Chains A and B, each alone.
Chain A
Amino acid sequence: MAVCIAVIAKENYPLYIRSIPTENELKFHYTVHTSLDVVDEKISAMGKALVDQRELYLGLLYPTEDYKVYGYVTNSKVKFVMVVDSSNTALRDNEIRSMFRKLHNSYTDVMCNPFYNPGDCIHSRAFDNMVTSMMMQVC
């Protein structure tokens, strides 16, 4: 259901980015890149309230003609960005939230792998599989 999933490091460089229509990859990279400004804006706007509530889900960042972009930021300021097809109206906010939670758990497992150095690009089969399954779901 998601067409593109990206993990962005604290310093705003991509740790992981995958999109389903591979021929149009650059467009998604661009979309994700633009969304980072909105993420930053949201974080600074919500500021303290966000920290107090421990609410990590940022909600819809912005809709484009064909896609909707959702964001999620961990307490360590790692960002997850998910691009979803707008034609998929069945997708509820709750489902997006649970998908992000799944992504976050999987990311935590990657971080716990002793062979992974924090800050490197993610080359994990388990993480790959999880992302693929999230993209395949009810496509």
Chain B
Amino acid sequence: MSRQAGRGTESKKMSSELFTLTYGALVTQLCKDYENDEDVNKQLDKMGYNIGVRLIEDFLARSNVGRCHDFRETADVIAKVAFKMYLGITPSITNWSPAGDEFSLILENNPLVDFVELPDNHSSLIYSNLLCGVLRGALEMVRLHFSPRKGGGVVEVLAGNENLEPSADISTHPLVQVCGLHDFSCCESMSRAK
């Protein structure tokens, strides 16, 4: 409990290497424990979900963001406040659907994949699937529905894995993660539980 005492809104610094290596150890251990990549992806998503449903409380308490009035504002808060707060990065928001109820988050410098080179026998592993799980969990708690974008799914480009690049315009980034976010509901349900 005393640990919580000093927590303010400012983010604390920690070694990014330690974080990256810890996550790497987690994923490789899962790869050893499960036989195929699909199961590992599922497990990562489940873990992320459990993190997300708790993290949203922390986020709402510490970030002091108010209600979001429209979906674009929600997207901005996720990218510029939430990602900044917990990972220290700001993903870019692109690929808005014409109806404005779906978008992609592109992580240009994902700290999770700093040293990672995916071996050939894990080609269908989505290394950072934990992040998708976190988003899914957190957004579910504020009554938004998250799912990887239809058709596009989650595309990852890990360092040195040129053949996985989804398209030319984003190929310069070491990791590109495309996720979709569906706005299932009308504006009222987008309001954040305060």
Least CB separation from B26: chain A residue? A114
A115 to B28, CA, bound (A): 6
Chain A residues in 8 Å Cβ range of B115: 109-110, 112-114
B residues less than 8 Å from A123 (CB atoms): 119
A54 at the binding interface (Cβ < 8 Å):
no
Q: Which residues of the other chain, B, contact A125 by a CB distance below 8 angstroms?
A: 117, 160-161
- Do the beta carbons of A114 and B160 come within 8 Å of each other? no
Please tell me if the beta carbons of A114 and B25 are within 8 angstroms of each other in the complex: yes
Take A112-B114, A113-B115 as given contacts and tell me if A126 and B160 are in contact as well, using a CB distance cutoff of 8 Å. yes
At the interface, yes or no: A129 with Cβ under 8 Å from chain B?
A: yes
In the bound complex, residues from chain A placing their C-beta under 8 Å from that of B23 are 114
CB of A87 to closest CB in B, whole Å: 33
- Identify A115's interface contact among B17, B20, B21, B117, CB under 8 A: B117
* Chain A residues bordering chain B, tally (CB within 8 A): 12
Residues of chain B with a CB closer than 8 A to A115's CB: 24, 28, 116-119, 122
* Interface check B193, CB cutoff 8 A: no
Please indicate which of the listed interface residues A110, A113, A129 has the most CB atoms of chain B within 10 Å of its own CB.
Answer: A113
Instruction: Evaluate contact between A113 and B117: CB separation under 8 angstroms.
Output: yes
Rounded to whole Å, the gap between the CB of B36 and the closest CB of chain A is 16
Alpha-carbon distance A126/B17, docked complex (angstroms): 18
Give the distance to chain A from B21, nearest Cβ to Cβ, in Å.
6
A124 part of interface (Cβ distance < 8 Å): yes
Q: Which residues of A contact B27 (CB under 8 A)?
A: 114
Other-chain residue from B20, B28, B119, B159 in contact with A126 (beta carbon distance below 8 A): B159
- A28: min CB distance to chain B, Å: 25
Contact with A along B70-106 (1 / 0, CB 8 A): 0000000000000000000000000000000000000
Smallest CB-CB separation from A112: which chain B residue?
B115
Interface residues of B in 8-23 (CB under 8 A from A): 17, 20-21, 23
Contact indicator A114/B17 (Cβ below 8 Å): no
Binding site for A on B (CB under 8 A): 17, 20-21, 23-25, 27-28, 114-119, 122, 159-161
Query: Taking beta carbons and an 8 Å cutoff, which residues of A are in contact with B?
Result: 109-110, 112-116, 123-126, 129
- Listed A/B pairs (18) with beta-carbon separation below 8 Å: A110-B115, A112-B17, A112-B114, A112-B115, A113-B24, A113-B115, A114-B21, A114-B23, A114-B25, A114-B27, A114-B28, A114-B116, A115-B24, A115-B116, A116-B117, A124-B117, A124-B160, A126-B159
Additional pairs, 11, CB under 8 Å, beyond known A115-B24, A115-B119, A126-B117:
A112-B17, A112-B21, A112-B115, A114-B24, A114-B27, A114-B115, A114-B116, A115-B28, A115-B116, A125-B160, A125-B161
